[in-house]
Amino acid sequence: QFCEAGIGYGESTCGTTSSSSSSSSKLLIKGGTVVNAHHQHLADVYVENGIIVAVQPNIMVGDDVYVIDATGKFVMPGGIDPHTHLAMDALGITTVDDFFSGQAAALAGGTTMNIDFVMPVNGNLTAGFEVYENKAKKSCINSFKFFMAYKGIIMVNDELLLEGLKKCKSLGALAMVHAENGDAVEAGQQKMIELGITGPEGHPLSRPPALEGEATSRAIRLADFVNTPLYVVHVMSIDAMEEIAKARKSGQRVIGEPIASGLALDDSWLWHPDFDTAAKQVPSLVSLYLMSPPIRSKGHDKALQAALATGVLQLVGTDHCTWNSTQKALGIDDFRKIMNGVNGIEERMHVVWDIMVESGQISVIDYVRLTSTECARIFNIYPRKGAILPGSDADIIILNPNSSFEITAKSHHSRSDTNVYEGRKGKGKIEVTIAGGRVVWENNELKVVPGTGKYIEMSPYSYLFDGLDKKDAIYLNSLQAPVKRAKTTT
């Protein structure tokens, strides 16, 4: 009962319909600026049978090829979301987005691959797999996530975490942590209840940034002790981010994943003067934003953006975990019962473009790295994914920097009846999504059918594991004197 396991899905379980434009197995994207994480240049991209065949200027093709004009636009690798929960069961109910609606939404927003999590069933991860296989056909693993929060449900203590870190190292599997101090969160919840604060505001008040910082620091130090890489999911606070910065500065292999909601939102809705009225009128209005760790107060968002821009944090996820307003309303009188989680799988690419590229904080090359390439490297599927190179899978998006996007629950593709980015507008619009060589999103139209997505195997021993053995050997060598002494005295 101590962790969930990371599973990769590409091209979505939705796949494509056989509409004339998308059924062609040959595709040419003409005249765009092709952007990879290493550089960008004007080039055409030619695709055959789902694979990128050529990336060069002025490619000539016959009439049997479907041609897309990308003049003045960016042609980039499809987004990879490292952190989603589709069809997740919790406390007896299931999230509204399953592998069809969640991935359809992803494609409409330029994300062509998502990494989801198998949850254990009655403490058993193998049993969890069986349930999961029915939800998403096939599965394989190269990472495990440990929850340091959710006490009494799925939390691990230090002993288990330490054991898990060692096991991960032996498998070449990346250890991920949900870093909040679960014991202290429980105490914080108790305190709020005693104070009579039972509404949604009790949620962030009961689990302040310090508890995230503490657990992040503890996980980092334990991973250092074991000498294994660590991936901190949903970094939501300055406190956690600074622990990661410190560890990276000292040379430790720690990856920090901020998520779209943490970068783009703050908790000002909690302190709205009309809070009572609003919360009463629409019980879900406030609980809608609840997730763990909580969306923090103003300032954390900007600091996380800066950390992402400067390489302290490496990639962006969403933690897409959607409950509709009826499900969210279940805990309206007791914040401890509010289902945790927010949407983002469809919005991430636009939101990150808007807040990071349009604000001038990062280059377009960096955008590709943060939304796709780095994820592919960390989870060991680069350059099959995360690149526009000959031989890579044809998961491609075309973004028009002069067009604009608007987010509303009315027009989104998730099954959720709400959207935490409701009303948000910005520049930069993903006009085309190509998944596995097929056009699945074009002219604001989604062309998907269930069951055609592919499971993507992610092998263990990513680059993060290179050289760990050398460090271990140096450490063991440094113990020669005490080992000798121990031997001579026994």
| Helix/strand/coil for 239 | helix
Q: How many residues bind Zn ion (CB under 5 A)?
A: 2
Considering beta carbons, is residue 188 or 426 the nearer one to Zn ion? 188
Copy the structure tokens of residue 40.
């960008």
The residue within the footprint of ligand URP, chosen from 33, 84, 284, 340 (CB under 6 A), is 340
Binding site partner of 259, from Zn ion, ligand URP, none, Cβ cut-off 5-8 A by kind: none
Q: Which of residues 77-106 bind ligand URP (CB under 6 A)?
A: 85
Residue 321 binds ligand URP, judged by CB under 6 A: yes
Q: Please say whether the beta carbons of 345 and 96 come within 8 A.
A: no
Find the residue with minimal CB distance to ligand URP: 340
Query: Residue 77: is it exposed, middle or buried by C-beta count within 10 angstroms (0-12/13-18/19+)?
Result: buried
Q: Which of residues 217-236 bind Zn ion (CB under 5 A)?
A: none
| 464 closest CA partner among 164, 142, 214 | 142
Residue 338 binds ligand URP, judged by CB under 6 A: no
Query: Residue 478: is it exposed, middle or buried by C-beta count within 10 angstroms (0-12/13-18/19+)?
Result: exposed
Binding site partner of 340, from Zn ion, ligand URP, none, Cβ cut-off 5-8 A by kind: ligand URP
Residue 142 binds ligand URP, judged by CB under 6 A: no
Q: Annotate each residue in 247-286 with x if it binds ligand URP (CB under 6 A) or - if it does not, as one string.
A: ----------------------------------------
Q: Which of residues 298-357 bind Zn ion (CB under 5 A)?
A: 319
Considering beta carbons, is residue 52 or 349 the nearer one to Zn ion? 52
What pairing do the DSSP bridges indicate for beta strands 174-178 and 230-232?
parallel
CA 321 to CA 289: how far, in whole Å?
Answer: 11
Considering beta carbons, is residue 43 or 357 the nearer one to Zn ion? 43
The residue within the footprint of ligand URP, chosen from 78, 128, 208, 341 (CB under 6 A), is 341
| Helix/strand/coil for 402 | strand
Residue 248 binds Zn ion, judged by CB under 5 A: no
Residue 178 binds Zn ion, judged by CB under 5 A: yes
Helix intervals (H) in 180-259: 182-194, 202-206, 209-226, 238-249
Q: How many residues bind ligand URP (CB under 6 A)?
A: 9
Query: Strand runs (DSSP E) across 246-310, as ranges?
Result: 254-256
Residue 366 binds Zn ion, judged by CB under 5 A: no
- In one-letter notation, the amino acid at residue 282 is V
Residue 322 binds ligand URP, judged by CB under 6 A: no
CA 178 to CA 231: how far, in whole Å?
Answer: 9
Q: Which of residues 290-309 bind ligand URP (CB under 6 A)?
A: 291-292
| 40 closest CA partner among 311, 368, 358 | 368
* Binding footprint of ligand URP on the chain (CB under 6 A): 85, 178, 234, 291-292, 319, 321, 340-341
